[in-house]
Amino acid sequence: MAIVNRGFVGRRDRDAGRLPPGQYRTFDFPVLSAEPTPTIALEAWRLTVQSSDHRAHTLSWSDFQALPHADVVTDIHCVTRWSKFETRWRGVSFDTILGELPWPADTYVMAHCQGGYTTNLALDELTDGRGWIVDTYDGEPLAVEHGGPARLFVPHLYFWKSAKWIRRLRFMSEDAPGFWESHGYHMHGDPWTEERYS
C-alpha cells in the first residue's frame, strides 16, 4: 500500500510554460512511497552496479563520497500531478558512475531499491548529465523520507523514475518493467507528453 503525506495541494502557476500538462505547482515536498521507509546505516550502504552477464562493481559510502559531486538545480514533476520548481540537489552524475565500470554498459538499466522497489530506464535517459545518484537536498544530507542516504535522480521524467533508497543498478540488453510499470504505469514516463500510464 502506498504511503502518502500531507502536501498534495497546490495551485496553477502563472508561469504555465514551466508546468507540464495536467500538473500544478506545490511549495511542499510531498512524500509518496511504495514501501515502508527503511533505516539504512551509512556504514552498511552499498551501491552495486551489475552487468547483464552478472559482473558486479560495488561502491561503499566512502567510495561514493570520494567520487566527484556536482550541484543540480531543476524542477521535478510527480505522476500524481504536483510539480516543484527549482529544487536543489547534489550528487554524482551517472556519467561518472559509468566511468568507474570495467565493462561496457548495455542499453537499459533496472534500478533496485531497499525494500524491493524497481524501476526501468533506457541508458540514454541517464547519460549526458540527465541522471544522478544524489545524497544532498537543499544543502542538507538527503532525508530518509526522500530516499536518503542516496536516491536515483532523473528529473526530466516523472518522479517515480527517481527511485529512493537505491542499492543496485542492473544493466539489461532488453527493456523490462519495474514495479509501477508492471502495474500499468508508462514504461518511459515523460511529463511533457503525459506518459502516465501504458
CA distances from 22 to 1, 33, 87 (A): 24, 21, 20
Contact (Cβ atoms closer than 8 angstroms) between residue 119 and residue 160: yes
- The shares of helix, strand and coil residues in the chain, as percent rounded to the nearest 5, are 15, 35, 50
**pTM of this structure:** 0.89
Spell out the per-residue pLDDT of the chain, length 198, in tens. Answer: 444 444 444 444 456 689 999 999 999 988 877 677 888 999 999 999 999 998 999 999 999 999 999 999 999 999 999 999 999 999 999 999 999 898 888 999 999 999 999 999 999 999 999 999 999 999 999 999 999 999 999 999 999 999 999 999 999 999 999 999 999 999 999 999 999 998
Q: What residue ranges define each of the domains in the chain, with the CATH number in brackets?
A: 20-193 (3.90.420.10)
The grid coordinates listed for 37 are: 521507509
Q: What does the alpha-carbon distance between residue 131 and residue 127 come to, in Å, rounded to a whole number?
A: 6
Beta strands 3-4 and 108-113, pairing class: unpaired
Q: Which residues contact 127 (CB under 8 A, 6 or more apart)?
A: 94, 95, 98
